[in-house]
């Protein structure tokens, strides 16, 4: 029998703009490869749209007027820069080859590519040409989001970029004060502590300076007539992220993107005197870290902003590697879900699968519109003091037919489980129903049950 095709529409209004689906792709820089032209870049992004992505985020969108450049050179810290390396990215799998673990994600190592204003102009020219190609070739319903970056700590550099990309026809502006790569350079921490920066992009160093984030947002909002959002760093913790989000809303932002990559570092080679595991690389720098493990951070950001900053739309990214994850972030409060590392690991079929899953899910669960799903789980987010685990009425129970006698649930920190003639037993008077034994069990032999 042929599978029934859902007729549900995935249309959703986000920041006042109509999207054909909540599912899109984030600004994952240029495609991996050398000598990438705007035409090559556009071809890859258009394939994402053909696979079902409702929106495309265009990375590193910048533009600089001459008067802004003059002001930047007056205010920025002068610096001596080493010779420019070719822009390259290398990845390393984060993996724990032991059940129940596995592939956790990727580390991204980038060679330096900010040297001087001329280099910044080259990146700006690439993104501008890319945008023009996308505007010409994309379907009308595919939305473009300009990921606008600035230089130094000067708000005018963000304003110039936002105005230019509004002229080019993008649908939304996303202020990028979140990229981890600029934070990984040797002097970055000192620049942050001083609150003064050289004339180049500084990503999350700016995003962790709330006064500057608010000022940049306010100036960009005043300068353009399309919705403005701010992309938060994965480094911004709770509840600090709520404070920054409120300040961006007060400055006129209509939406928040949560989150960009946090900073990580690869483990050393313990069998080679701590040398780097990076292939063909003589250093082990701090890098951007991505993968399924980011979902914990993403969920926290989305839920917190939706709960504590009502009226600010949220776009979610980070660790979304299954179609079900799209629904999860939407129920926590996200209006858009952006697939990034999942597409790298699984290909564009993840976009197609996510669109199909969402339509079937809505049909099966009786949701008429996508908006019916957004924020549905917020009603259950309450203060910890309101939690009732029904302590002393829930205990763990073992199915002896499924238990393989491995003993992990006994040989850990549990005080309730013990061996009795080769069988695992539970002292119910000591069991709090915490469920840690369920996590440890490799055969799903343990469940929680209620006792009178």
- Runs of H (alpha helix) within 77-116: none
* DSSP symbols for 319-373: S--SHHHHHHHHHHT-SEEEESHHHHHH-THHHHHHHHHHHHHHHHHT--SGGGT
- Using an 8 Å Cβ cutoff, are 285 and 109 in contact? yes
- Domains in the chain, please, with CATH? 12-380 (3.20.20.70), 388-450 (3.30.70.20)
Per-residue pLDDT of the chain (452 residues), as tens digits, is 445 555 689 999 999 999 999 999 988 777 777 888 999 999 999 999 999 999 999 998 999 999 999 999 899 988 776 555 566 788 899 899 887 788 888 888 887 655 567 777 888 899 999 999 999 999 999 999 999 999 999 999 999 999 999 999 999 999 999 999 889 888 899 999 999 999 888 999 999 999 999 999 999 999 999 999 999 999 999 999 999 999 999 999 999 999 999 999 999 999 999 999 999 888 999 999 999 999 999 999 999 999 999 999 999 999 999 999 999 999 999 999 999 989 989 999 999 999 999 999 999 999 999 999 999 999 999 999 988 876 568 899 999 999 999 999 999 889 999 999 888 999 999 998 889 999 889 999 999 998 87
How far is CA 394 from each of CA 131, 200, 402, 448, 449, rounded to the nearest angstrom? 57, 57, 21, 6, 6
3-class state of residue 228 by DSSP: strand
d(CA 176, CA 110): 18
Greatest CA separation for the chain: 83
The one-character DSSP state at 180 is S
- Using an 8 Å Cβ cutoff, are 114 and 191 in contact? no
């Amino acid at each position: 029998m042929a599978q029934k095709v859902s007729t549900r529409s995935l249309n959703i209004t986000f920041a006042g703009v109509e999207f054909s689906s909540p599912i899109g792709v984030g600004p994952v820089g240029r495609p991996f490869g050398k000598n990438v032209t705007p035409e090559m870049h556009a071809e890859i992004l258009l394939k994402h749209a053909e696979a079902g992505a409702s929106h495309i985020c265009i990375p590193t969108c910048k533009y600089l007027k001459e008067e802004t450049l003059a002001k930047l050179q007056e205010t920025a810290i002068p610096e001596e820069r080493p010779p420019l390396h070719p822009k390259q990215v290398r990845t390393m799998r984060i993996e724990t080859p032991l059940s129940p673990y596995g592939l956790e994600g990727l580390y991204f190592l980038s060679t330096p590519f900010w040297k001087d204003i001329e280099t910044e102009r080259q990146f700006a020219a690439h993104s501008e040409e890319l945008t023009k190609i996308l505007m010409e070739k994309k379907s009308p319903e595919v939305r473009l989001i300009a990921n606008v970056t600035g230089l130094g700590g000067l708000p005018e550099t963000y304003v110039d970029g936002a105005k230019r990309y509004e002229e080019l026809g993008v649908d939304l502006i996303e202020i990028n004060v979140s990229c981890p790569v600029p934070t990984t350079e040797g002097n970055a921490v000192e620049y942050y502590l001083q609150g003064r920066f050289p004339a180049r992009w500084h990503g999350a160093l700016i995003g962790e300076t709330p006064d500057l984030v608010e000022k940049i947002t306010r100036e960009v909002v005043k300068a353009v007539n399309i919705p403005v959002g701010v992309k938060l760093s994965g480094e911004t913790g709770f509840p600090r992220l709520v404070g920054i989000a409120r300040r961006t809303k007060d400055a006129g932002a209509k939406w928040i993107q949560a989150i960009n990559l946090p900073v990580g570092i690869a483990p050393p080679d313990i069998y080679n005197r701590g040398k780097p595991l990076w292939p063909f690389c003589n250093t082990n720098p701090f890098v951007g870290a991505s993968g399924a493990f980011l979902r914990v951070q993403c969920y926290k950001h989305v839920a917190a902003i939706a709960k504590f900053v009502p009226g600010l739309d949220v776009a979610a990214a980070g660790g979304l590697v299954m179609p079900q994850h799209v629904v999860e972030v939407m129920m926590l409060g996200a209006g858009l879900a952006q697939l990034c590392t999942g597409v790298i690991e699984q290909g564009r079929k993840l976009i197609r699968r996510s669109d199909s899953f969402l339509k079937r899910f809505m049909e099966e669960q009786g949701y008429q519109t996508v908006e019916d799903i957004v924020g549905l789980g917020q009603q259950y987010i309450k203060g910890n003091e309101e939690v009732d685990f029904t302590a002393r009425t829930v205990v763990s129970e073992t199915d002896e037919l499924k238990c393989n006698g491995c003993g992990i649930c006994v040989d850990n920190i549990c005080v309730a489980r013990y061996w009795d003639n080769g069988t695992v037993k539970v002292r119910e008077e000591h069991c709090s129903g915490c469920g840690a034994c369920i996590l440890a069990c490799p055969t799903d032999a343990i469940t929680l049950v209620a006792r009178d």
